[in-house]
Amino acid sequence: MPDPTNPLIVQSDFSLYLEVFNPKFETVRNGITKFAELDKSPEYVHTYKISALSIWNAASSGIDIEDIVSFLDQWSKIDVPKNVITEMRTIYKRFGIVEILKCDNDQNRLILHIREKNLETEVLSNPKLKKFLLDKISDGYYHIDLLSRGTLKVAFFGYNIPVNDIAGYSPSEPMTINLRQTSSKGVPFALRDYQNWAVDAFYQSGSDMGGHGTIVLPCGAGKTIVAIGIMAKVQRYTLILATSVAAVHQWIREILDKTDVSPDMIGEYTGDKKEIKPITVSTYQMLIYRKNKESDFPHFGVFQARKWGLIVYDEVHLLPAPIFKITTEIQSTRRLGLTATLVREDHHEKDVFCLIGPKKYDTPWKVLEKQGWISEAKCYEIKIPMDENDLMDYLTSDQKSKFNIAAKNPLKINALKDIMLRHPNAMVLVIGQFIDQLEEVSKVLNAPLIIGKTPNAQREELYKKFRNGEIRALVVSKVANFSIDLPDASVLIQLSGTYGSRQEEAQRLGRILRPKENNVSYFYTITTKDSLEETYSHNRQRFLTEQGYGYEIESWEKEELL
Amino acid sequence: MTLLDNLNQEEIQHLYELFFGPILVKHQNFSYLDNIITLLSKPNSIKTYLDKLNTQEKRVLEYLSRFRIISETFLKEKLNIILDMPLFLIEKIISVLIAKNFIFRRGDSLVIPQIFYMIDPPDIAEEQMPAAEGEYFPKAMTDVHNMINYFICQGFSFSNQLFLYKKDFQLTEQMFDNYAVLSGNEYNFVSYFFANAFLSDGQRLNLYQLKTFFAMNILDRAMYMLEIISPNMYSIIRHYNQTGKNVKISRECLFYLWEQTLLLQEFDYAPLRVTFDEIIKFLVNMEIIEQDGDQCIIKCWTAFAPTRKSELKISTNFNLFMNASALRSDQYVPVLFADMKNYNSIVECEITENSVRRGVINGYTYESFCKFLKDNEVVLPQNVDSTISQWFEKHGSYYYTTGTVFFCNTKAKAKIIQNLIDNGYVKAYELKKDEVYIIPEEDKDDFFRFLDKSGINYFSKEPNIRKAIKRNKVLDMESVLSGE
């Protein structure tokens, strides 16, 4: 029954507001994530959305619709709108009407089962859906091609028909992976609670309902560990796709550190090495490499090189289009997507849901920060004036040049030095978009520079020195946006970025979120006041502000700068 | 009062010509009126003439015959609402009736001989009942408040009838369909109200009018809205509300009263095209009328929900949350600087650079923004605070205006002008507190006419323009004398 002391408001447009400062918040949040998607999580009110997809996800996890209805009733402040309940029941019913089943007598085919006559007629009358049906077995049963499994699901979803894929996975090669009790450095190791929940949400006790989906966790919250936990559950040959060679090495380091897998079982498939082992780690760039636009992808063979039991897509929000394409053809393999920000600037989130799998676990960044699992981040935007010499140029330039002039404002280097003085003993990352700007900064700070053309070996060496504390500051280009694990970095100074990219901002913050001794990190962005850069900066901050991060904005005058 | 005493001599002559044609030679004792009266005494005499009119002409004449004389201002719009006939057709029919001498134009009125249709008004039976119980606060008013807010932040322009254009209608429907009790054409009623009540020159938001409206109690807001969208229905409701009781009246009688009052109503601007059924449905939604079979109960509310403070929250992501059913006197203020994103039990707005710019253009200042936050005890996240103050500064740093600048030498004198502005007697905008006002060009004449009438003295002081004196060229005498 509605109770004004409850924290939940259910609205007729299927949005849910959850009050954060309510004693019942934790209980309700844990329940709500099973059937609603987290939309925004700023400081006072978290917004969730019930969508067809979230209801079908709940249905696929075996949650009963009546349990959802009574949950909403129990925790709602006001009456739950009747239309929401009616509509949820209708949507829920659609799940399971169409299923993909195993075809026992033909390994290259699957069976599509349409339970309702009307829907069968609808499918048959729609050429875009009918084309997937090879031949009719009996009423409601059709053969489909094994390779069209992914595209069929995407196409049916486009017509609001969820396909319950319970054909299971192709036989794959087994291997033994056990998690260590203590890491190789002798530190006690066990999955954290939320990591265990994420593993269980994905694995679903090994049933065909599980085994595909995306885990969304903040940077530094241990997504790699979640993946390793899943690998230990699945116990199958695993292919891991990462964003860079440095990330590949990190994956290998982590697996060796946290499991009993021996080094000879792990292979690196990159430009330097071409190893295919029971656990193989490669990069997206490697797999999508080809001589020209017309030629084949020579490294796609990796997908068929072994009978993989699990494919891990690291930073799934960056998945390139050719990988999407091949993923449609490997739907018989378990697929795990990992990301901190399921925000794709190209709006392909839906493809991630259909082809990799639905979001299986998500938790607000601030919740993990509160629990101490990620570092507390203090975000600052430092606004500095435009250099007088540049002002006239700026005013008379086109938009692109305006952005360049503002982003490369020479006074940023003065501000940067000033910030460095605030943190005399901290490990600092300086990140930027423009190479010439970064080269100058590197000279001024006398700090090494890592950019795209820096050889991998040299990068590794510099990262290693930074981790060991031999180098206090590193100047990096966007190559360090993702997957670089520099646990002790506690200050990041952002000089410039890719226009208004929310995802880049969040990923960059992620570089300094690993928990540390005093557990506080500082994220600075230097922008030019009264310029286009401010507008971009405001947009960049949107994802993090929706996660509840409050930026402190300081305006520095020229006279105040060093 | 006889049937034809509303006609002057000339009109009586024309009426005679309708029946008998023009007269060439007139007998000494000839009387147009006597001849018409003789004709009228014969049974079915008028019918022959009426049969010369087509059905639509007869319908219009029948309605007009309810009145001895009726103003022609917006008459065709009124008949268009009642008869559902196109405006051009009504206009044509009136011209035909005048040309054929069935009715007569006198100034901006029509004079109608009371001989064609004898209409007996129905007996208006009313039954008084106890006044409405509880506090007045219908859900429809929540919709209206939020729709006003939505129109403010969308900055829609409206059609000639002050309705929403199709695309804007669809946007409004998307925003309100989920949660509003108002629907369909009722969105247009709100747009008509909004445009008439709060827009100056059809476009500029009038913050003073907005403030005045939201300062009213909820019942007054509802009645004010009704007065604007259907002034004749407002007269009816107000009349019965004065009894202090609910009044039961048949739907048929109410319909007659609605038609009658609509035709008699004087409008300053085109009436809203709203049918009787539509206005009744709207009033039922507004809980001003209750339907009981073929009876209508006009409700008399003696209590209403009071305006009160309700919680407002602004998050780090520039989102603002407020209770949709809040009843506040500053209810419109958040949308002066924020865009409405979602309408449901909680209204979600987002503060963006563009929304702040809109606020600045509408005359909303950073100081007012800070005051609003203080009054509502809203703690602004630091990033939101500094970004918004910068947006206000960015968009408010330069501005221009056109018009006549009016200076007051003392604060006391300025206060008089300010009072005149606040009370709607003159239109001007304060440029510098208690000192300088600007009068828009189109309001200049009215402004000074009012000052003249009120005995407020003023003078025109032209700026000193430094102009070079025109000089003719001085001859170079040397060259003249040397003959060069």
Residue contact B313–A535, C-beta within 8 A: no
Residue identified by tokens 């070996």 is A457
Of all residues in chain B, the percent with pLDDT exceeding 70 is 97
Under 8 Å between Cβ of A218 and A366:
no
Residue B348 clears pLDDT 60, i.e. is over it: yes
Work out whether strand B109-111 and strand B69-71 pair parallel, antiparallel, or are unpaired: antiparallel
* Model confidence pLDDT, tens digit, residues A6-19: 999 999 889 999 99
Residue A50, helix vs strand vs coil: coil
**Number of Cβ within a 10 Å radius of residue B425:** 15
Under 8 Å between Cβ of B359 and B329:
no
A5, A38, B317 from A45: Cα distances, Å: 15, 11, 11
Phi, psi dihedral angles at B436 (to 5 degrees): -125, 135
Distance CA B272, CA B188 (A): 9
Tell me the one-letter amino acid at B186: E
B257 pLDDT band (50/70/90 cuts)? very high
Residue contact A42–B394, C-beta within 8 A: no
Instruction: Tell which residue, A39, A77, A32, has the closest CA to residue A58.
Output: A32
In this prediction, residue B2 carries a pLDDT of 67
Distance CA B355, CA A308 (A): 53
Distance CA B118, CA B66 (A): 8
Work out whether strand A238-242 and strand A310-313 pair parallel, antiparallel, or are unpaired: parallel
**Number of Cβ within a 10 Å radius of residue A291:** 8
* Model confidence pLDDT, tens digit, residues B323-335: 898 898 999 999 9
Instruction: Tell which residue, A525, A536, A528, has the closest CA to residue A500.
Output: A536
Under 8 Å between Cβ of B60 and B83:
yes
The mean pLDDT value of chain B amounts to 90
Of all residues in chain B, the percent with pLDDT exceeding 90 is 60
Distance CA A519, CA A376 (A): 6
Whether the complex's predicted ipTM is more than 0.90 is answered with no
Residue B22 clears pLDDT 90, i.e. is over it: no
A176 pLDDT band (50/70/90 cuts)? very high
Under 8 Å between Cβ of B117 and B72:
no
A179 pLDDT band (50/70/90 cuts)? very high
Tokens representing A123?
A: 């499918």
In this prediction, residue B74 carries a pLDDT of 93
Comparison of pLDDT for A3 and B139, the residue scoring more: B139
A284, A540, B56 from B52: Cα distances, Å: 88, 77, 12
**A141 strand-pairing partners:** A113, A138
For chain A, say whether B354 makes contact (Cβ under 8 Å): no
In this prediction, residue A288 carries a pLDDT of 86
Tell me the one-letter amino acid at B196: N
* Strands annotated E in A243-399: 266-269, 279-283, 310-313, 334-339, 359-362, 376-384
Phi, psi dihedral angles at A24 (to 5 degrees): -90, 5
Torsion-angle region of A204 (φ positive above 0: left; ψ -120 to 50: alpha; else: beta): left
* Strands annotated E in B42-171: 69-71, 104-106, 109-111, 126-129
The mean pLDDT value of chain A amounts to 89
Residue A210, helix vs strand vs coil: coil
Residue B31 clears pLDDT 90, i.e. is over it: no
Question: Containing H/E element for A536?
Answer: helix A532-540
Residue identified by tokens 């000339």 is B10
Residue B468 clears pLDDT 70, i.e. is over it: no
Q: Closest Cα of chain A to B366: distance in Å? A: 17
For chain A, say whether B346 makes contact (Cβ under 8 Å): yes
Torsion-angle region of B182 (φ positive above 0: left; ψ -120 to 50: alpha; else: beta): beta
* Model confidence pLDDT, tens digit, residues B33-60: 888 888 888 878 888 888 889 999 999 9
Under 8 Å between Cβ of A277 and A266:
yes
* Model confidence pLDDT, tens digit, residues B375-428: 998 988 888 999 999 999 999 888 887 889 999 999 989 999 999 998 888 989
User: What is the DSSP secondary structure assignment for residue B438, as one 8-state letter?
Assistant: E
In this prediction, residue A347 carries a pLDDT of 63
For chain B, say whether A530 makes contact (Cβ under 8 Å): yes
A516 pLDDT band (50/70/90 cuts)? confident
In this prediction, residue B238 carries a pLDDT of 94
Comparison of pLDDT for B99 and B42, the residue scoring more: B99
In this prediction, residue A184 carries a pLDDT of 78
Residue contact A546–B394, C-beta within 8 A: no
Phi, psi dihedral angles at B298 (to 5 degrees): -85, 115
**Helix, strand, coil shares of chain B as percentages rounded to 5?**
45, 15, 40
Work out whether strand B436-439 and strand B404-407 pair parallel, antiparallel, or are unpaired: antiparallel
Question: Containing H/E element for A227?
Answer: helix A223-234
Work out whether strand B346-350 and strand B429-432 pair parallel, antiparallel, or are unpaired: unpaired
What's the rounded mean pLDDT across residues A541-549? 85
* Model confidence pLDDT, tens digit, residues A37-92: 888 888 888 899 998 888 887 887 778 999 999 999 999 998 899 999 999 999 99
Work out the burial of residue A221: count CB atoms within 10 Å of its CB; fewer than 13 is exposed, 13-18 middle, 19 or more buried: buried
Residue contact B316–A40, C-beta within 8 A: no
Distance CA A464, CA A246 (A): 11
Residue contact B345–A78, C-beta within 8 A: yes
Mutation site, A538, A540, A555, A556, interface B, largest B CB count within 10 A = A538
In this prediction, residue A456 carries a pLDDT of 85
Tokens representing A319?
A: 């998945």
What's the rounded mean pLDDT across residues A522-550? 90
What's the rounded mean pLDDT across residues A538-546? 86
Q: Closest Cα of chain B to A552: distance in Å? A: 5
Q: Which of B106-115, B119-128, B282-291, B458-467 has the highest mean pLDDT?
A: B282-291
**Count of residues in chain B:** 484
For chain B, say whether A467 makes contact (Cβ under 8 Å): no
Distance CA A372, CA A220 (A): 11
Under 8 Å between Cβ of A98 and A119:
yes
Under 8 Å between Cβ of B72 and B105:
yes
Q: Closest Cα of chain B to A539: distance in Å? A: 10
A319 pLDDT band (50/70/90 cuts)? confident
In this prediction, residue B406 carries a pLDDT of 95
In this prediction, residue B162 carries a pLDDT of 92
A343 pLDDT band (50/70/90 cuts)? low
What's the rounded mean pLDDT across residues B75-86? 94
Distance CA B28, CA B410 (A): 76
Least confident of A409-418, B22-31, B308-317: B22-31
* Strands annotated E in A80-149: 98-102, 109-114, 136-138, 141-145
First-to-last CA distance in chain A?
62
Residue contact B178–A12, C-beta within 8 A: yes
Mutation site, B146, B183, B344, B388, interface A, largest A CB count within 10 A = B344
Give start and end residues of each alpha helix (H) in A235-351: 245-258, 284-287, 302-305, 321-329, 349-351
What's the rounded mean pLDDT across residues B78-91? 94
Q: Closest Cα of chain B to A377: distance in Å? A: 14
Tokens representing B468?
A: 């070079």
Select from B321, B348, B383 the Cβ nearest to the Cβ of A551: B383
In this prediction, residue A344 carries a pLDDT of 61
Least confident of A217-226, A314-323, A366-375, B467-476: B467-476
A360, A433, A496, B124 from A410: Cα distances, Å: 46, 14, 12, 84
What's the rounded mean pLDDT across residues B11-25? 85
Tokens representing A394?
A: 């700026």
Question: Containing H/E element for A528?
Answer: strand A520-528
Give start and end residues of each alpha helix (H) in A33-81: 52-60, 65-75
Tokens representing B399?
A: 């501005």
Question: Containing H/E element for B147?
Answer: helix B139-154
Distance CA A147, CA A501 (A): 35
- Encode burial over A144-181: b for 16+ CB neighbours within 10 A, e otherwise: bebbbbbbbbbbbbeeebbbbbebebeebeebebebbe
* Model confidence pLDDT, tens digit, residues B240-255: 999 999 999 999 999 9
For chain B, say whether A79 makes contact (Cβ under 8 Å): no
Residue B464 clears pLDDT 70, i.e. is over it: no
Distance CA A78, CA B45 (A): 71
Work out the burial of residue A535: count CB atoms within 10 Å of its CB; fewer than 13 is exposed, 13-18 middle, 19 or more buried: middle
Of all residues in chain A, the percent with pLDDT exceeding 70 is 98
Distance CA B73, CA B71 (A): 6
Residue contact A45–B321, C-beta within 8 A: yes
In this prediction, residue B81 carries a pLDDT of 94
In this prediction, residue A297 carries a pLDDT of 83
Residue A496 clears pLDDT 70, i.e. is over it: yes
Phi, psi dihedral angles at A261 (to 5 degrees): -70, 135
Cβ contacts of B348 on chain A, cutoff 8 Å: 47
Tokens representing A175?
A: 């291997």
* Model confidence pLDDT, tens digit, residues A183-204: 877 889 999 999 999 999 899 8
Distance CA B50, CA B19 (A): 11
Q: Closest Cα of chain A to B343: distance in Å? A: 9
Phi, psi dihedral angles at B49 (to 5 degrees): -75, -40
Residue A560, helix vs strand vs coil: helix
* Model confidence pLDDT, tens digit, residues A419-478: 999 999 899 999 999 999 999 999 999 999 999 889 988 988 998 999 888 999 999 998
Q: Closest Cα of chain A to B143: distance in Å? A: 14
Residue contact A553–B317, C-beta within 8 A: no
Distance CA A74, CA B78 (A): 54
Q: Nearest chain B Cα to A45, which residue?
A: B315
Distance CA A309, CA B136 (A): 66
Residue contact B313–A45, C-beta within 8 A: yes
Q: Nearest chain B Cα to A77, which residue?
A: B345
What's the rounded mean pLDDT across residues A316-330? 80
Q: Closest Cα of chain A to B315: distance in Å? A: 6
